[in-house]
Each structure stands twice: as structure tokens, then as C-alpha cells.
Amino acid sequence: MSDQEKTSLWQGFKAFLMRGNVVDLAVAVVIGAAFTNIVNSVVEGIINPLVGAFGTQNLDSYTSCLKGPCEGTGDAATGVRILWGSVLGATLQFVITAAVVYFLMVLPMAKYLARVEARRKAKEGAHEVVEVTELEVLKEIRDALLAERAQGGGKSLRTDGGGEQPGAGGR
């Protein structure tokens, strides 16, 4: 492999790594891993004990025997068991995790972003009101000048840009 090919490969790899979406993805993975620890801590430290107060924290022991006799545990178990407790536990873990993420992270962030957007729109609305007010003032000034000229018997001020030219009258 020539030096030029090595350089072009290196430059291509460097360009790939420096593209915005690759860097953003790497940051998202790192933040997601840290966020997972927070969510798991909330679920395991707060939610599971609350659920355990009403029942059991470990649903894996709940099974049904499809074909008997169902005796023993682990590798020594006989019969065909349906482990519906583990499925129920995983489903509850998912629902609880989704609820924690939604109510503790997504909902507050959505409310915050809505407030920021409302403030931005209010600022834009105030800016538009100022512009409209300036336009109204200019129209009033124009109307006052037109009225003054009309009372003074002077030349009229046309608003279409075709007013009389000085010294152009009486041909």
C-alpha cells in the first residue's frame, strides 16, 4: 500500500469520525448509558420496594405446568412449564421504567421547552406590535400632511409617487 493510499484512507476515516451525526451518536450513547443508571436506580430503589409492599418483588417464581408432572427447579425440573411470572415481571419493569422516564424526564423537559417557546413567541409578538405601531404613526403623519396641504390650498401630495413637479405647470 502506498503512502498516498494510507493518507487517503486515514483522511477518509478522519472525515467519517468528524461528521456531525457520528459524534452526536457517540454522545447520545454515553448519555444514554448514564441515564440508564439513573432510571434503574429509581426503579430498583423506589418503585420496586413500593410494588413489593403490595405483593412480591420477584415474579420469576410464578409458573404454570403445561405438561406434568412439573417438579423440581432449574436443570432438574420435569414437565413443561410456562414461566409467565418472568414475562409479567419484564413487562412491569418496562412499564415502570417508561413511566419513570416519562414523568421524571420527558414531561418536565416538554413543559420547559413549551415555556421557552412561549417566551420566544411573546418577544416576536412584541416586536411585531412595535413595527405595526410605527407604521400607524407614519400613516398618521402622512394623513396630517395631506390635510394641511389641502387646507392651505397648496399643491396636493399624492401618495402614488406621481406628485406635481415644481416648474412643470402651465404648458
Q: What 8-state DSSP symbol labels residue 74? A: G
* Amino acid 136: pLDDT: 83
Residue 143, SS3 per DSSP: helix
What is the band of 171 on the pLDDT scale with cuts at 50, 70, 90? very low
The 10s digit of each residue's pLDDT in 84-112 is 888 887 888 788 778 878 888 889 989 99
User: Taking a C-beta distance cutoff of 8 angstroms, is the pair 85, 91 a contact?
Assistant: no
Note the helical H segments in 43-106: 48-54, 84-101
- What pLDDT sits at residue 99? 84
Q: What is the pLDDT of residues 24-82, one digit of tens each?
A: 788 888 888 888 888 778 777 877 777 777 777 677 777 788 777 777 666 666 777 78
Higher pLDDT, 16 or 145: 145
Rounded Cα distance between 78 and 67, Å, is 9
Backbone CA torsion sign across 117, 118, 123, 125: positive
Which residues are bridge partners to 67 per DSSP? 80
Q: How confident is the model at residue 143 (pLDDT cuts 50, 70, 90)?
A: very high
Q: Which one, of 56, 77, 75, lies nearest residue 65 by Cα?
A: 77
Q: What is the C-alpha to C-alpha distance for residues 86 and 77, in angstroms, rounded to an integer? A: 17
**Chain Cα centroid distance, residue 16:** 26
Q: What is the DSSP string of 106-134?
A: IHHHHHHHHHHHHHHHHHHHHHHHHHHHH
Q: What is the pLDDT of residue 170?
A: 47
Q: Is the pTM of this model over 0.75?
A: no
Q: Pull the grid cell for residue 65.
A: 405446568
pLDDT at position 145: 93
β-bridge partners, 80? 67
Say how many C-beta atoms besides its own lie within 10 A of residue 59's C-beta. Answer: 19
Taking only the tens place, the pLDDT of each residue in 151-165 is 986 555 555 555 444
Q: Which residue has the higher pLDDT, 121 or 167?
A: 121
Is residue 168 scored above 60 in pLDDT? Answer: no
- Mean pLDDT, residues 3-28: 78
Output the nine-digit C-alpha cell for 155.
399643491
The residue among 119 and 63 whose pLDDT is bigger is: 119
